């Protein structure tokens, strides 16, 4: 689980959308093997932070991974570096089958045997996908699509999996499936950066968390400090 080496370091990150200052100097350090949760309300900047790490938006500040500055890395290079982003919109190919969507996740890889092994790993992790290998993505339920989006991200062979609101709009029984998958993956050593409005879900999983409000980190620390914090309890727990 949580190691001592900083894995992903975000230092003084600023993002502007025109005149709107969406991230105002965010600094975070994520350790190898941990689950790091970023919570905060609608519009706080959680997605913007993940978009910056993936280099989908321009930013000021520094993002380093394993000591390497990612600023000049393209989105594709960032995937190849091991940072894989499962977006809130899921971005599936709607008319492709489950199997074809999973293979799209491996498009930058040339280690065919390992790709095959990862396919079987994803089907083991999500038996519902295994039962629907030939089904078109657009005909799947929201929960199944979320599993497919996570499965496709896993096919990119991540060291760090970035998940944006993986429980959004899902029924509790499906959230349990996602929950089990996150625990299994983390137990196998995967580092997970989890952005969630569902604070209860994030607190359940995360080793450490940060609270983001209007583009600023207002609090960060271990999960038990968040559990015991009166402001977090009043503002964020019990609403889901």
Ligand X SMILES: Nc1ncnc2c1ncn2[C@@H]1O[C@H](COP(=O)(O)OP(=O)(O)OP(=O)(O)O)[C@@H](O)[C@H]1O
Comparing CB distances to ligand X, the nearer of 43 and 189 is 43
Positions touching ligand X (CB under 6 A) are 17, 20, 22, 40, 42-48, 88, 197
- Output 13 or 84, the one with its CB closest to ligand X: 13
The answer to whether 184 and 124 are in contact (CB under 8 A) is no
Q: Cβ contacts of residue 23 below 8 Å, gap of 6+? A: 13, 14, 15, 45, 48, 49, 52, 59, 215
In terms of CB distance, is 13 or 155 closer to ligand X? 13
CB of 47 to ligand X, least distance (A): 3
Residue 6 bridge partners (DSSP) = 31
Query: Any bridge partners for residue 220, and if so which?
Result: 210
User: Taking the complex as a whole, how short is the minimal distance between the CB of residue 172 and ligand X, in angstroms?
Assistant: 20
Residue closer to ligand X by CB (options 104, 219) is: 219
Q: How far is the CB of 109 from ligand X (least distance, A)?
A: 29
Q: Decide: residue 109, CB within 10 A, 0-12 exposed, 13-18 middle, 19+ buried.
A: middle
Burial degree of 68 (CB within 10 A; 0-12, 13-18, 19+): exposed
> Quick one: 1 or 168, whose CB is closer to ligand X?
168
Give me the least distance between CB of 181 and ligand X, in Å please.
Answer: 21
- Closest contact distance (angstroms) between CB of 11 and ligand X is 19
| Angstrom distance (rounded) from CA 146 to CA 87 | 10
């Amino acid at each position: 689980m949580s190691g001592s080496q900083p894995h992903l370091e975000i230092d003084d990150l600023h993002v502007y959308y025109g005149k709107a200052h969406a991230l105002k100097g965010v600094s975070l350090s994520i350790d190898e093997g941990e689950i790091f949760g970023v919570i905060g309300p609608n519009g706080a900047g959680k997605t913007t932070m993940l978009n910056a790490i993936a280099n989908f938006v321009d930013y000021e500040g520094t993002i380093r991974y394993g000591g390497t500055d990612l600023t000049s890395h393209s989105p594709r290079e960032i995937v190849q570096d091991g940072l894989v982003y499962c977006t809130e919109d899921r971005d599936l190919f709607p008319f492709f089958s489950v199997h074809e969507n999973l293979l799209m996740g491996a498009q930058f890889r040339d280690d065919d045997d390992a790709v095959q092994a990862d396919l079987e790993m994803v089907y083991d992790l999500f038996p519902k996908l295994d039962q629907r290998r030939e089904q078109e993505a657009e005909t799947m339920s929201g929960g199944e699509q979320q599993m497919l989006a996570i499965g496709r991200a896993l096919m990119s062979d991540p060291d760090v999996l970035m998940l944006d609101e993986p429980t959004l709009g899902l029924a509790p029984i499906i959230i349990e499936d996602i929950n089990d998958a996150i625990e299994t993956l983390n137990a196998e050593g995967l580092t997970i950066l989890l952005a969630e409005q569902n604070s209860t879900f994030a607190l359940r999983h995360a080793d450490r968390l940060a609270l983001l409000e209007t583009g600023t980190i207002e609090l960060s620390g271990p999960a038990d400090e968040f559990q015991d914090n009166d402001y977090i309890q009043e503002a964020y727990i019990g609403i889901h």
